[in-house]
C-alpha cells in the first residue's frame, strides 16, 4: 500500500474522509477533501457536529457526511478513501457492520445508487492527513465551512507536497 496520495483515473474523483473526536466538547469533527485526476482540489469541508460519538461512530458519520457533500458538489464517479479499516470493511461488505455503525452503513449503501459509480479504498493514516487536519480544524468552528476550488491554508502544504510527488513521477 502506497503511503502517498495517488490520483484517480479520469473521470473519477477521490474523496478523502476522516473524523476527529473532541471528548471535552462531546462533539466530533468531520474532514472531507475532494480532488480530481490531476490532484487539483475540487472542494473541501470541515464540519463540527455536536454529537457525543466514539471513534468508530465518528468515522461512520464522517463517511455519511462525505457522501452528502460529494453529491452536493456534483461529483458522480467517486472513490471514497478512509483510514478506518472497520468502516471500509463494513462498506465493502467484508464484515457485518458493528451495531454501533450498522444504521449509518445501511444509509450509505442506500445512497450508492445516486452516483454513477463508486468504490471504497482503505488508506494509511499518513495518506489521509489532509482530511484529518480538516476534521481537527472543525473543533474551532460552529457548524461547517467549505472551500470550493481552492486549497484551505491549513492543508496547503500537504497538497503542495502531493503535487511535487506527482510532478516527479
pLDDT tens for each residue of 11-68: 999 999 999 999 999 999 999 999 999 989 999 999 999 999 999 999 999 999 999 9
**Alpha carbon 34 to chain centroid, angstroms:** 8
pLDDT of residue 5: 78
User: Does any domain span residue 158?
Assistant: no
Strand 144-148 with 27-35, pairing: unpaired
User: Does any domain span residue 164?
Assistant: no
CATH of the domain at 64: 3.30.420.10
DSSP assignments along 14-43, one per residue: EEEEEEEEEGGGTEEEEEEEEE-TT--EEE
If you search the block for the grid coordinates 452516483, which residue do you land on? Answer: 115
> Assign residue 80 a region: left if phi > 0, alpha if psi is -120 to 50, beta otherwise?
beta
User: Does any domain span residue 72?
Assistant: yes
User: Does any domain span residue 35?
Assistant: yes
User: Does any domain span residue 25?
Assistant: yes
- Helical (H) or strand (E) element with 113: none
Q: Which domain holds residue 136?
A: 13-153
User: Does any domain span residue 32?
Assistant: yes
pLDDT tens for each residue of 78-137: 999 999 999 999 999 999 999 999 999 999 999 999 999 999 999 988 788 999 999 999
Residue 2 has pLDDT above 60, yes or no: no
The pTM for the full model equals: 0.93
User: Does any domain span residue 23?
Assistant: yes
**Contact 86/127 with Cβ under 8 angstroms?**
no
What are the DSSP E strand ranges found in 55-106?
A: 77-82
Amino acid at each position: 500500500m502506497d503511503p502517498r496520495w495517488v490520483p484517480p483515473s479520469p473521470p473519477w474523483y477521490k474523496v478523502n474522509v476522516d473524523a476527529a473526536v473532541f471528548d471535552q466538547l462531546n462533539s466530533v469533527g468531520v474532514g472531507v477533501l475532494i480532488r480530481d485526476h490531476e490532484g487539483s482540489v475540487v472542494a473541501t469541508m470541515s464540519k463540527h457536529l455536536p454529537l457525543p460519538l466514539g471513534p468508530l461512530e465518528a468515522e461512520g458519520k464522517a463517511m455519511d457526511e462525505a457522501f452528502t457533500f460529494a453529491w452536493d458538489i456534483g461529483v458522480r464517479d467517486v472513490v471514497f478513501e478512509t483510514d478506518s479499516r472497520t468502516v471500509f470493511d463494513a462498506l465493502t461488505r467484508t464484515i457485518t457492520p458493528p451495531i454501533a455503525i450498522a444504521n449509518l452503513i445501511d444509509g450509505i449503501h442506500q445512497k450508492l445508487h445516486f452516483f454513477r459509480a463508486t468504490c471504497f479504498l482503505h488508506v494509511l493514516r499518513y495518506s489521509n492527513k489532509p482530511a484529518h487536519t480538516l476534521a481537527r480544524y472543525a473543533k474551532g468552528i460552529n457548524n461547517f465551512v467549505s472551500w470550493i476550488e481552492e486549497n484551505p491554508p491549513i492543508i496547503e502544504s500537504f497538497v503542495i507536497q502531493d503535487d511535487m510527488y506527482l510532478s516527479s513521477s
